[in-house]
Structure 1
């Protein structure tokens, strides 16, 4: 398990592959939720994840590929594009400045 310090997250990347639009919606939702916390939320193809990301959220099937692109960045795999508990934990940790194990 990886421990994430929410107070140190300044750039969150939503990585996708299929281009179906669901990940764009998730990125938009996270931008709204984290705006007050000064966190930049970006949407990126999994093969082009920015190296300066502090944390990456991506669909479970893409997690290994994401880890290969940014091996030193925590990658949070999720199942549901909206309302996934793992993503919610990371958002709460950022908002509270707390830590979370993922």
Structure 2
């Protein structure tokens, strides 16, 4: 398991499977939430996670695939809207702390 300090995060990847609907919406919403902290949010297919990725968020069903493609901290979520993972990410970026994944 890897971890990252929230104050070190400059980019968050929302990794998706084949579709571009719900995950694009998540990326846009999270991008607005994290903009005040100068953190970029990008939407990328799970098989194309870049090597410089720090934090990857994806559906729980995609976590194993994401871990095969990246050494980043990878955290799964269950719901595209209102999942507590998004609140936790914002809180750790804003206030400091560690994210494990």
Q: TM-score, normalised by structure 2?
A: 0.90
Are 2:30 and 2:86, in contact at CA under 8 Å, matched by a contact in 1?
no
Residues 3-49 of structure 1: per-residue CA shift (max 9 Å, x gap):
43100101100000131510000000111000011111100000001
* Alignment correspondent of 1:28: 28
* Alignment correspondent of 1:97: 96
Q: Give the match's secondary structure for 2:29.
A: helix
Structure 1 residues 95 and 61, CA gap change in structure 2 (3 angstroms): same
Structure 2 residues not aligned, in runs of 5+: none
Are 1:49 and 1:66, in contact at CA under 8 Å, matched by a contact in 2?
yes
Partners of 1:95 and 1:13 lie apart in 2 by 17
Are 1:47 and 1:69, in contact at CA under 8 Å, matched by a contact in 2?
yes
* Alignment correspondent of 2:43: 43
**Within the alignment, does 1:78 sit opposite 2:93 as a pair?**
no
* Alignment correspondent of 1:11: 11
Structure 1 residues not aligned, in runs of 5+: none
Kindly state the Cα deviation for residue 96 of structure 1 after the two structures are TM-superposed.
Answer: 1.5
Q: TM-score, normalised by structure 1?
A: 0.90
Kindly state the Cα deviation for residue 93 of structure 1 after the two structures are TM-superposed.
Answer: 0.3
